[in-house]
C-alpha cells in the first residue's frame, strides 16, 4: 500500500436539484464507508464528509467546496488525492479502482 487513502465526500443536507430520487450526500457517505470497509477489510483508510456550505477552515477542503458550488457540480462529489472519482451518483467500481491504484487489495 502506497499510503493510507483518504476519500472525501463533499455534499450538503439539501439534495442536489439534478439528483432528485438519489440518496442524500450523508447517506452516500455512510454507504461508501460501509462498502469500502467490506471490500478492503483490515486495510486502513479514511473517509470524510465535508459540508460544502459549511466547510472546515482547512484550505484544500474549503477551496474544493467553493469549486463544487461555483461550478454547479452534482453532489455528493467523491474525491481521492484531489481527483474527482464520482459525482451525483458515484459508482463503487470507480472508487474500488482508485483504492486498488493506491495498493489496496480486495478480499
Q: Which residue has the cell 464520482?
A: 86
Residue 78 CB: number of other CB atoms within 10 A? Answer: 26
Nearest Cα neighbor of 29 from 44, 55, 51 is: 51
State the Cα–Cα distance between residues 83 and 63, nearest whole angstrom: 13
What's the pLDDT at 1?
A: 60
Domain count, the chain: 1
Residue 19 has pLDDT above 80, yes or no: no
Whether residue 107 is contained in a domain is answered as: no
Whether residue 70 is contained in a domain is answered as: yes
Whether residue 12 is contained in a domain is answered as: yes
Domain containing 12 — which CATH number? 3.40.30.30
Strands of the 45-51 sheet, one edge to the other: 45-51, 5-11, 77-80, 83-87
Nearest Cα neighbor of 61 from 1, 5, 3, 9 is: 9
Residue 74 has pLDDT above 90, yes or no: no
Note the pTM of the prediction, 2 decimals: 0.91
At 24, the pLDDT band (50, 70, 90 cuts) reads confident
Cβ atoms of residues 4 and 23 within 8 Å: no
At 18, the pLDDT band (50, 70, 90 cuts) reads low
Whether residue 23 is contained in a domain is answered as: yes
Domain that includes residue 79, residue range: 5-101
What's the pLDDT at 16?
A: 65
What's the pLDDT at 63?
A: 94
Amino acid at each position: 500500500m502506497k499510503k493510507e487513502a483518504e476519500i472525501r465526500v463533499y455534499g450538503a443536507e439539501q439534495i442536489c436539484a439534478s439528483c432528485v430520487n438519489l440518496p442524500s450526500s450523508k447517506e452516500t457517505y455512510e454507504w461508501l464507508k460501509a462498502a469500502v470497509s467490506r471490500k478492503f477489510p483490515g486495510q486502513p483508510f479514511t473517509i470524510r464528509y465535508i459540508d460544502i456550505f459549511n466547510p472546515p477552515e482547512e484550505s484544500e477542503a474549503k477551496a474544493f467546496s467553493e469549486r463544487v458550488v461555483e461550478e454547479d457540480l452534482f453532489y455528493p462529489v467523491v474525491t481521492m488525492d484531489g481527483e474527482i472519482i464520482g459525482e451525483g451518483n458515484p459508482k463503487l467500481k470507480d472508487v474500488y479502482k482508485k483504492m486498488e491504484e493506491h495498493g489496496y487489495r480486495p478480499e
